[in-house]
Structure 1
Amino acid sequence: MNEPLWKVFPEAYESPYPRPKKPEPPPRVDKTEEDIDEVIKALNERRQAAGRFADERDTCHYEETSPGVMQGFGDFHHWQRLQKQKK
């Protein structure tokens, strides 16, 4: 007998749950060159805004107020890396 088990005992391999339906592909939308230019412009503005945020996050200032005590603002780990680079 060379039949697969699922053919011999189909009830053992049936699921009580319905099979999920395959999603339909999104409809194709043809864009004009102006539409594409607007999308590219918006993406570039987002990228530049993200860069400004990263620059602000990297701005930091710490000073030793007491021996071994550092106080200030910004990302302390970034400040530590900057100090190591100065040496």
Structure 2
Amino acid sequence: MCGDRSTKTGLKLWEQVKGIGKLYYSDYWKSYQQFIPKDKHLQSKSETYTVEGYNSLIRHYLARFKRKGKCYSKQVHMIGKSLNLLMAKLNNQLSILF
């Protein structure tokens, strides 16, 4: 799922994941409260720091994920390929690059 942190994007994501888990963790972004039911929503930085760390690594290594970048393709299949290569490298499964 790609997009900004607006309620509109959040609703699209929610429609795809709402039946998957029992609890949904997020930070304190206001728009999440508009579509995630209170009884299933836990807001806490302590539950989101790991994913934020991965997001930071991805933005560091892949220019296409930097905000407002115009230099690289944003096509979903290219994003997937880029992420797969990065994760392979970070997991020492790829001996080339970086």
TM-score by length of 2: 0.22
TM-score by length of 1: 0.24
Q: Computing the radius of gyration over CA atoms, which structure comes out larger, 1 or 2? A: 1
Which one has a larger percent strand, Structure 1 or Structure 2? 1
